[in-house]
Amino acid sequence: MLNIKNLQVKLEEEDKQILKGVDLTVEAGKVHAIMGPNGSGKSTLSYVLSGRDGYEVTGGSATLDGEDLLEMEPEERAAAGLFLAFQYPVEIPGVGNMTFLRTALNSQRKARGEDEVSAAEFLKLVREKAKALKIDADMLKRPVNVGFSGGEKKRNEILQMAVLEPRMCILDETDSGLDVDAMKLVSDGVNALRDEGRAFLVITHYQRLLDHIQPDVVHIMAAGRIVKTGGPELALEVEKNGYADILAELA
Ligand code: ADP
Ligand code: MG
Ligand code: MG
């Protein structure tokens, strides 16, 4: 589904190479985790995949179902089924959460040549998803993320994912300082959406998150590359010994 080959990225503003040849393949139905020391380029990878400004791709490729992601506008990436969990935690005063979600869903459907969802259909859909995630009606009406607590923002993020039904979900949880409750929210949300046709890339510092999510594949990123790939046992090894052993092995 997601195929990244020798991806090299530098900052636009500075002559600083951040990704130095990332290779990564994520198959449909799988959950892949990326762990790695601070500053290794994990967030940069997710930003570049989402199409955020400020980065220049200097080599390599990234495709989603064979389509060149790097050529697409951020909206086109979303319509193609890519979801970045940090894509929408922005606060949007004056725009109700429901309105925002419906607009996002319909613009993606339109871009795919699908019919828009009517107001009544959408209401039914969002109520059903919200109920499953224990989100109350009040939160659906409030302006997007405005005054939401950390936990509410997380819940909302999972709701966005549940409503938009993306095929490739990328969650960068590295810097969000997830507490235990938020971690459970995220992992329950991911687990509920796990599906043969959907894949996840979960970027995290926390082995604890992976206790709940149970990834199929774990990658270690260091200094702008994926340096080691293994099963869930790799995350346990990191928890026990840190990254020192893995890095020493490579050196
Ligand atoms: P990680 O998510 O693995 O902690 P990042 O992708 O955030 O790593 O950062 C990788 C490296 O790139 C770090 O050395 C970081 O300081 C640098 N970097 C990323 N974005 C910027 C930026 N906008 N300006 C300067 N340095 C940056
Ligand atoms: Mg960091
Ligand atoms: Mg990061």
Choosing from 43, 50, 176 the residue with most ligand 1 atoms within 8 A of its CB, the one to mutate for a pocket test is 43
pLDDT at 89: 64
Encoded amino acid at 179, one letter: D
Q: Which tens digit of pLDDT belongs to each residue from 186-237?
A: 888 889 899 999 999 999 877 778 888 899 999 999 999 999 999 999 999 9
Which tokens belong to 51?
């199409």
Distance 10 CA to ligand 1 centre (A): 10
Dihedral sign (CA 68, 70, 107, 86): positive
Say if ligand 1 is within 6 A of residue 41 CB.
yes
- Output the residue whose Cα is nearest ligand 1's atom 6: 41
Q: Of how many residues is the chain composed?
A: 251
- Output the residue whose Cα is nearest ligand 1's atom 11: 39
Q: Which residue has the tokens 């869903």?
A: 105
pLDDT at 191: 92
SS (H, E, C) the chain: CEEEEEEEEEECCCCCEEEEEEEEEECCCCEEEEECCCCCCHHHHHHHHHCCCCEEEEEEEEEECCEEHHHCCHHHHHHCCEEECCCCCCCEEEEEHHHHHHHHHHHHHHHCCCCCCCHHHHHHHHHHHHHHCCCCHHHHHCEECCCCCHHHHHHHHHHHHHHHCCCEEEEECCCCCCCHHHHHHHHHHHHHHCCCCCEEEEECCCHHHHHHHCCCEEEEEECCEEEEEECHHHHHHHHHHCCHHHHHHHC
Distance 1 CA to ligand 1 centre (A): 26
Say if ligand 1 is within 6 A of residue 18 CB.
yes
- Output the residue whose Cα is nearest ligand 1's atom 5: 41
Say if ligand 1 is within 6 A of residue 174 CB.
yes
Instruction: Return the ligand number nearest the Cα of 35.
Output: 1
Instruction: Report ipTM (2 d.p.).
Output: 0.95
pLDDT at 34: 96
Taking the model in full, what pTM does it have? 0.91
Residues of the chain with pLDDT under 70: 86-89, 174-177
Which tokens belong to 165?
């039904």
pLDDT at 170: 93
pLDDT at 150: 77
pLDDT at 177: 64
Task: Give the Cα separation of 81 and 69 in Å (integer).
Answer: 11
pLDDT at 121: 94
Ion ligand 3 residue ranges (Cβ < 5 Å): 42-43, 174
Distance of CA 79 to the CA centre of its chain: 15
- Output the residue whose Cα is nearest ligand 1's atom 15: 39
Q: Which residue has the tokens 């009517």?
A: 118
Ion ligand 2 residue ranges (Cβ < 5 Å): 38
Say if ligand 1 is within 6 A of residue 44 CB.
yes
Instruction: Return the ligand number nearest the Cα of 41.
Output: 1
pLDDT at 86: 63
